Amino acid sequence: MVVVLDTVTAPATAKDRRPRHPEKANRPDTPLLRKPDWIRVRAPGSPIYRETQDIVKKNGLVTVCEEAGCPNIGECWSKKHATFMIMGDTCTRACAFCNVRTGMPEALDRAEPQKVAEAVAKLGLEHVVITSVDRDDLDDGGAQHFAEVILAIRAAAPGTTIEILTPDFLRKPGALEIVVAAKPDVFNHNLETVPSKYLKVRPGARYFHSLRLLQRVKELDGEMFTKSGIMVGLGEERNEVLQLMDDLRVADVDFLTIGQYLQPSRKHHPVIRFVEPTEFKSFETIGYAKGFLMVSSSPLTRSSHHAGEDFARLRAARQAQPRG
């Protein structure tokens, strides 16, 4: 059984007293399928987990590990691996799969880049993943804030490699160029699902815009690693997943992650099926055959799970390619 922690503390502010997902409040409950035996994680609680938790709290930071109810939080935090979520804990989108709070975000914390950089240094991270909520309310979608976080980490922890997982910057001209110019080591933007499911699963996004975003990163900086991920179990067909792989390869994406969708609540999109480990393994085999440098495909795969180890393998895979 997957252990998902409720990390929402007792209400202290007006924001905390509002529903976490007001747009879903009146939706009918959807069924919760019983989880299969192959989806298992340990409950967190090691001393290093507590140390990581303490550093996050003392720096006033938000992590996607907590906000999205990630099942891998116990494993990752026990290794001092945390994925920082910048620009607040409230998203302007209302994706049907996501557990992050939705609503009108607060103003940006201008001290946040330094706070994140200090936490990265204290944790001694070799590799860090920075993601964010969608900030459609900002003129640049938060691009400059991403850049400032990257630059602050470079100053405080110059040996740390940086992976970013960004929003799509839809209708934010020039935003992508700002982020790429800050030179993260890995640029990740998740497609999340196949195009036929966007209207229900990711209604605020556009599949081909996200593809073009990833392709544009390579046009701006051909040496930058690109990465994208999807969930399966949302009702997609196998051939749709294979076509999505082809689309990503046309965009020259280096790294693909595929994981099982887990339903956060009865108000979220239902799990249509649990994909068996053998099928995940077949996706991995096919992905490598299609030319990805790295493929991570398993029920508990998430974008930032084992990101540091995967980055080392990704870099080694590129170096092993024949030069021509």
Structure tokens at 229: 């991920």
- In angstroms, the first-to-last Cα distance of the chain is 49
Taking CA 97 as the corner, what is the angle to CA 93 and CA 98, rounded to the nearest 5 degrees? 55
Looking at 142-212, which runs of residues are DSSP E strands?
A: 161-165, 186-188
> How far, in Å, CA of 324 to CA of 317, rounded?
15
Question: Which uninterrupted H or E stretch holds 160?
Answer: none
Q: At what angle do helices 47-58 and 112-123 cross, to 10 degrees?
A: 160
Point out the annotated binding site. Answer: 65, 70, 76, 91, 95, 98, 304
| Residue in the block written with tokens 């196949």 | 194
Binding positions for [4Fe-4S] cluster are 65, 70, 76, 91, 95, 98, 304
Q: Which amino acid is at 253?
A: V
Distance between CA atoms of residues 121 and 115, nearest Å: 10
